[in-house]
Amino acid sequence: MIEDSRVAGPGSSGGDLDDVLLAVEKAAPVDAVQAVTRSIGQSLDASWVSFLVADMSGRALVCLVHVPIDAPAGGRRQDEDVAMVLPFDGGPREQALRVQRVLVEVVGGRHVVRAPVTQRGEAIGLLEMALPDAPTEAVLQRVSRAAHTLAFVVIANRRHTDLFEWGQRTSPFTLAAEIQRRLLPASFTCEADSFTLAAWLEPAASIGGDTFDYSVARDLLHLSVTDAVGHGVQSALTATLCVGALRNARRRGGTLLDQARAADDALVDNRSDGSLFATGLLGRLDLATGILGVVNAGHPLPLLIRDGDTVAVTLPANRPFGVLREQPYREAEIALRPGDRLVLLTDGMLERGAAGLELSTRLQDLSDLHPREVVRVIADLVLEVAGPVLPDDACLLILDWHGGHGTTRHTRAGAEPDRASKP
């Protein structure tokens, strides 16, 4: 039996939070989550408590912490750490993440409570615990708040240790993939009152230099998708120059055109054989008006899903970064309406076998899903028709525009339930 507990309420008491913070600070970064889960389990008389982190593929959970710790047979090891990979199978773990709600299942006479560990829509993982008695609403509220607190513990401590990154990597990285990964934002999902954003990158066997990026300012959302020429380490290094220049110009307060010129200059000034270039789509969204400024540097056109139709947005064509320096860049505008979904992608989503995906139709069919899930489903479909090893990276960024900047965000435990996918 699985129950859906739609609970809400204020944060945990000051004493509980003080205990959690003290446990975290006393523990080493690699032990911080274990310390918190043990504290949670003891306070609720749980038989066991586990933390499962979402792996980088988005297709599995990895049991990283189990208290009491009974090393699962066959788990992956790093030093003294053990991780068991649990692929998604449509069961209660996957459903708890999809619907972003606390679910309860009776297993062997125990009540197993599963709570999403989420922050601003980023599904970091799952908190699980086995309770001897049916949990009351007050207990479920405590578990939900504990899971939200655990999200901040993970975010804070993963800066200091490789443990969480190691746990998420169910496949080894090449050097090019390591470089490429460092170019991506720390979270692939972001929820705000006026928008929801999620992105995904499906690397080819030989890295193709695709990247995505975003940054939320007070009244602006900056975003980009870029594709560096070539494959492997050289492509990753080209992408590093491009993304680094874009971020540097953005952080200095530069306009979209300033950012485009900075990326162009970085590639022109640092190439030795004339082969460094990258395409890109840069955007800056006014969160008060929904007006999106766009610079298209030789990149595939974005797709706009509005009122059930999908159309490619016509934009002025600009040269790629690092090509024909004397030609200036031009900026265009897209006026978004509440309910719009904008899709930015790289050519890996359109070339060769992936062209048989009928992307426009698929995106319409998935319009009811949270962007966090849409990007994963599309990635799976690309692998199905063009894989299992892609000839080129495939990158996707989805932006849902809701409007109402600064006035409409209603969350529970790190997510906005009304935007979550249905069971």
CATH code, domain with 298: 3.60.40.10
As beta bridge partners, residue 130 has: 48, 112
Residue where one domain finishes, among candidates 168, 203, 225: 168
Contact 20, 149 (CB under 8 A): yes
Q: What is the phi/psi pair of residue 73, to 5°?
A: -65, 135
**Three-state DSSP state, 309:** strand
Note the pLDDT of residue 342.
98
Q: Which residue, of 152, 168, 184, is where some domain finishes? A: 168
What distance lies between CA 175 and its chain's CA centroid?
Answer: 22
Task: Note if the bond before 68 is cis, omega within 30 degrees.
Answer: yes
Write down the residue that tokens 């690397």 correspond to. Answer: 203
What is the distance between the alpha carbons of residues 223 and 238, in angstroms, rounded to a whole number? 19
Q: How far is residue 210's CA from residue 228's CA, in Å, rounded to a whole number? A: 6
The tokens 């991506």 sit on which residue? 184
Instruction: Indicate if 113 and 42 belong to the same structural domain.
Output: yes
Spatial separation of the C-alpha atoms in residues 410 and 392, rounded to whole Å:
39
In 3D space, the residue among 406, 414, 413, 418 whose CA is nearest the CA of residue 9 turns out to be: 413
CA angle 126, 120, 177 (to 5 degrees): 75
Q: Closest by alpha carbon to 39, among 26, 25, 23, 55?
A: 23
Q: What is the pLDDT of residue 6?
A: 40
Nearest-angstrom CA–CA distance, 411 and 257? 36
Cα 194 → chain centroid: 18
Whether 130 and 219 share a structural domain: no
Note whether 153 and 295 are same-domain residues.
no
Nearest to 155 by CA among 133, 182, 183, 125: 125
Strand partners, 398: 198, 343
272 and 145 together in one domain: no
Same domain, 346 and 230: yes
Residue 237: which residues within 8 A CB-CB, separation 6 or more? 179
Q: In the chain, which residues have pLDDT < 70?
A: 1-17, 68-83, 205, 272-274, 352-356, 408, 423
Helix intervals (H) in 55-162: 92-99, 137-157
The residue behind tokens 């049991």 is 63
* Angle at CA of residue 32, ends 30 and 33, nearest 5°: 100
Q: How many structural domains compose the chain?
A: 2
C-beta separation of 175 from 234 below 8 A: no
41 and 129 within one domain:
yes
Q: What is the largest CA-CA distance in the chain?
A: 73
Q: Are residues 254 and 370 in the same domain?
A: yes
Which residue range forms the structural domain that includes residue 86?
2-168
The predicted structure's pLDDT at residue 355: 63
Please indicate, yes or no, whether residues 397 and 355 belong to a single structural domain of this protein.
Answer: yes
Helix intervals (H) in 271-398:
359-365, 371-386
**Measured at the alpha carbon of residue 395, what is the angle toward residues 390 and 398, in degrees to the nearest 5?**
145
Global pTM exceeds 0.85? yes
Is residue 204 domain-shared with residue 276, that is, in the same domain? yes
Torsion sign over Cα 197, 257, 346, 155: negative
Same domain, 228 and 204: yes
CATH of the domain at 101: 3.30.450.40
Cα(119)–Cα(416) distance, integer angstroms: 10
Same domain, 41 and 129: yes
Same domain? For 137 and 247 the reply is no
* Domain C-terminal end among 168, 187, 208: 168
Check residue 71 and give its pLDDT: 36
**Tokens in use for 324?**
């024909």
Which run of H or E residues covers position 38?
A: helix 32-43
The residue with tokens 């076998």 is 353
d(CA 166, CA 58): 15
Amino acid identity, position 163: L
